[in-house]
Amino acid sequence: MRILPRVIHFILFSALIISCATGSSDYTPKPKGFNRIELPKHEYQQLTEDHPYTFQYSKHAIIQPDTVGQAEPHWIIVYYPELDARIQFTYKPLNGDTDKLDHHIADAYKLAYRHLVKANYKEEKKINLKNGKSAIVIELEGEVPSHFQFYLTDTTRHFLRGAVYLEQATMNDSLLPVINYLKKDCIHLMETLNWKNK
């Protein structure tokens, strides 16, 4: 009777050794996955602050003043706390000066093209909006902090530039849903933009 427990122990021990030996050679690590990002529903509210422009922005975002050193009046940030993302707006009055307009357009391109070092794709296009206005949109792909930038102008009084910034890791694969979500909000924002001519 003492032999039976020893035989059972030997068989279990042998099975354990064999399974470990054969299992280790067949093991393949799983590829890294991306966290699932829950995106809120697209809902909008009217910008009520006193600026030379107004638009509808996400109900899941808050308006903050831009506090960078060179910030001017009417520069704001539409901040998304849940996504740790922001749309930065820089506004410039033109006062009928076409040289100013040319300068601001050149600056918009210069700021966008700073990211080309890390970008692996760039697309620039003019889009016609439902409100009759048009905008220039610059989209970048790759490990860049700003994937979507745009500007709108009435060519005589107002110039408004927007840039989307993500504070998280900048891998496009993992953040593509967030990038697309913010692009949709930007298009809505541009389509509801109105200038205030005082």
Q: What is the pLDDT of residues 67-107, one digit of tens each?
A: 988 899 999 999 999 999 999 999 999 999 999 999 999 99
| Cβ(87)–Cβ(76) below 8 Å | no
**Beta-carbon count within 10 A of 104 CB:** 18
pLDDT recorded at residue 176? 87
pLDDT recorded at residue 194? 95
Query: Which CATH number do you get for residue 96?
Result: 3.40.1000
What are the structure tokens assigned to 150, written together?
């745009």
Mean pLDDT of 6-30: 61
Count of CA atoms in the C-beta half-sphere (13 A) of 164? 28
Per the domain annotation, does 49 fall within a domain? yes
Residue 165 sits in which domain range? 44-195
Per the domain annotation, does 15 fall within a domain? no
pLDDT recorded at residue 65? 95
Nearest to 186 by CA among 169, 161, 153, 167: 161
Q: Is the pLDDT of residue 198 over 70?
A: no
Q: What is the DSSP letter of 32?
A: P
Question: Mean of the per-residue pLDDT values for the chain?
Answer: 85
Amino acid, res. 81: P
Per the domain annotation, does 139 fall within a domain? yes
Q: How many structural domains compose the chain?
A: 1
